[in-house]
C-alpha cells in the first residue's frame, strides 16, 4: 500500500485543504485508488482553532477493472453552523457506479 498526503493553506482566503490518497493495494484487495479531501475555513488564524469551520468532505474510491463496482463517490457540504462553529446542517451526496 502506498499513501500520499498533502496539506494546503491559502493565505488569501484563509481556507485549507487536506488530501490523502491510497494506491498500490495488495492483489487480494479490489481497489485501485482511494482518496479523501477535507476543506476547512481556518479564518486566517492558524493558532486559534475555535473559529475554524469545516466546509466539505469528498471521498472517491476506484475499483479494479472487472470488479462489479466501478467507483464510489461521496460529498458532504456543510450548510449550517451552531454558535461554536459546530456543524448543524449539511447536504450529502453518494453515488455508486457499477461496471
pLDDT in tens, 71-93: 999 999 999 999 999 999 999 99
Q: Which is it for the CA torsion 13, 90, 21, 98, positive or negative?
A: negative
Whole-angstrom distance, CA of residue 66 vs CA of residue 54 = 36
Counting residues of the chain whose pLDDT is more than 70, the rounded percentage is 100
Whole-angstrom distance, CA of residue 96 vs CA of residue 99 = 10
pLDDT bin (cut points 50, 70, 90) of residue 99 is confident
Whole-angstrom distance, CA of residue 59 vs CA of residue 94 = 9
Amino acid at each position: 500500500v502506498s499513501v500520499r498526503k498533502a496539506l494546503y493553506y491559502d493565505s488569501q482566503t484563509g481556507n485549507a485543504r487536506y488530501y490523502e490518497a491510497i494506491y498500490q493495494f495488495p492483489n487480494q484487495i479490489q481497489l485501485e485508488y482511494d482518496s479523501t479531501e477535507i476543506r476547512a475555513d481556518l479564518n486566517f488564524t492558524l493558532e486559534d482553532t475555535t473559529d475554524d469551520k469545516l466546509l466539505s468532505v469528498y471521498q472517491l474510491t476506484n475499483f479494479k477493472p472487472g470488479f462489479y463496482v466501478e467507483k464510489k463517490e461521496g460529498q458532504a457540504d456543510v450548510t449550517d453552523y451552531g454558535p461554536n462553529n459546530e456543524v448543524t446542517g449539511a447536504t450529502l451526496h453518494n453515488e455508486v457506479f457499477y461496471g
